[in-house]
Amino acid sequence: MTSHFIEAEIDLKETPLTVTEAVEKALETEGEPLRWAITKVDQDKQTAQVEAIVTRMDNIE
């Protein structure tokens, strides 16, 4: 299992989900989130920048 730093951008105006649900959906393909934070909101573009630490299972051969 390894940890990875992930950055994602959430479009706030196009998501019918709550912000928490939108962030979790954006991160689900990257691994299991340990923690995440919204680090920036662009009010003009209606986007939020998210930084997260996720864990992934590595295929050890």
pLDDT digit string, tens, across residues 18-38: 888 888 888 888 889 999 999
Rounded mean pLDDT of 39-60?
Answer: 89
Total residue count of the chain as it appears in this document: 61
**pLDDT number for residue 25:** 87
> Does position 61 have pLDDT exceeding 60, yes or no?
no
CA gap 3, 33 in Å, rounded: 9
In which band, very low, low, confident or very high, does the pLDDT at 59 lie, cut at 50, 70 and 90? low
Please indicate, yes or no, whether the overall pTM of this predicted structure exceeds 0.75.
Answer: yes
Domain boundaries, the chain: 2-56
Q: How far apart are CA 6 and CA 50, in angstroms?
A: 8
Please list, residue by residue across 43-52, b when 16 or more beta carbons sit within 10 angstroms of its beta carbon and e when fewer do.
Answer: eeeebbebeb
Number of other CB atoms surrounding residue 24 within 10 Å: 14
